[in-house]
């Protein structure tokens, strides 16, 4: 899935008026098929009176989008009988210019192959978000909780729709797996818990990553802690 020539309208910014116009154009493309640009353009939206440094930062992202107009998402075929809905959530505490927190999530429909020492997840990125938290966060844990609330809320909405379709196809309900890199948050998940380590070589930088996590059951959902957000998704272009 790629943009339909919207990238041809992008231009580098020289003033505040152009800043608003070009940021909006870039953000639309990011919301459609370029999730890796979502954070920068969301952060850029928070500057009402952008200065030279803000303009330079936005131009760096716009230049990348102008040079990668054919970059998008590739969807692969899945085995729906074993598929799961993975929700990766993350929050950054007071990292914005106004000391607010940035929260985000990514939702995949994917198949997972596991063994005693490793796992491989292959699937499709179907929804993502990176936004400024509208509530005051006074701790790292609070920002992680707000990120999880947003991600789980959208994940349940998508999961309900997916399961309605699956029932018509006589496919079992697709479970929801929520993943966080916050040990403090995972320790507060109810249910019997166990710690585990897993290794993966599926991140988009082609590196091997050791994952330390925490896993528990909560009603019909399965909760699991994994890696930081920047290595959580694998976008095939």
99 and 213: one domain? yes
pLDDT greater than 50 at residue 225 = no
40 and 124 belong to one structural domain: no
Residues 157 and 121 in one domain: yes
Categorize the per-residue pLDDT at 100 as very low, low, confident or very high, splitting at 50, 70 and 90: confident
Q: What confidence tens digit (pLDDT) does each residue in 24-33 have?
A: 999 999 999 9
Q: How does residue 212 score in pLDDT terms, banded at 50, 70 and 90?
A: very low
Is residue 171 situated within a structural domain?
Answer: yes
One domain for residues 51 and 97:
no
CB–CB of 182/144 below 8 Å? Answer: yes
Return the pLDDT at 192.
42
The rounded distance, in Å, linking the Cα atoms of 114 and 121 is: 9
Closest CA to 53 of 45, 44, 62: 44
Q: Write the pLDDT tens digit of every residue in 171-197.
A: 999 999 888 888 777 777 665 443 443
pLDDT at 189: 67
Q: How far apart are CA 62 and CA 12, in angstroms?
A: 7
| pLDDT of the residue at 168 | 93
Are 215 and 190 contained in the same domain?
A: yes
């Amino acid at each position: 899935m790629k943009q339909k020539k919207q990238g041809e309208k992008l231009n580098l910014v020289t003033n505040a008026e152009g800043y608003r116009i070009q940021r909006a154009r870039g953000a639309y493309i990011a919301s459609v098929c370029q999730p890796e640009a979502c954070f920068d353009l969301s952060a850029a939206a928070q500057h009402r009176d952008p200065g030279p440094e803000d303009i330079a930062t936005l131009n760096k992202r716009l230049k990348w989008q102008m040079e990668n107009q054919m970059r998008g998402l590739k969807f692969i075929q899945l085995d729906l009988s074993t598929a799961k809905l993975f929700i990766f959530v993350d929050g950054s505490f007071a990292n914005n210019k106004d000391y607010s927190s940035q929260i985000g999530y990514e939702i995949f429909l994917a198949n997972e192959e596991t063994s005693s020492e490793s796992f491989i997840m292959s699937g499709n990125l179907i929804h993502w978000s990176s936004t400024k938290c509208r509530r005051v966060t006074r701790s790292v844990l609070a920002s992680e909780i707000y990120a999880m609330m947003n991600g789980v809320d959208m994940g349940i909405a998508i999961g309900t729709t997916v399961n309605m379709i699956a029932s018509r196809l006589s496919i079992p309900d697709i479970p929801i797996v929520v993943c966080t890199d916050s040990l403090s948050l995972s320790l507060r998940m109810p249910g019997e818990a166990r710690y585990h380590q897993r290794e993966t070589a599926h991140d988009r930088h082609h590196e091997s990553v050791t994952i330390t996590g925490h896993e528990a059951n909560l009603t019909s959902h399965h909760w699991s802690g994994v890696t930081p957000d920047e290595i959580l998704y694998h976008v095939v272009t």
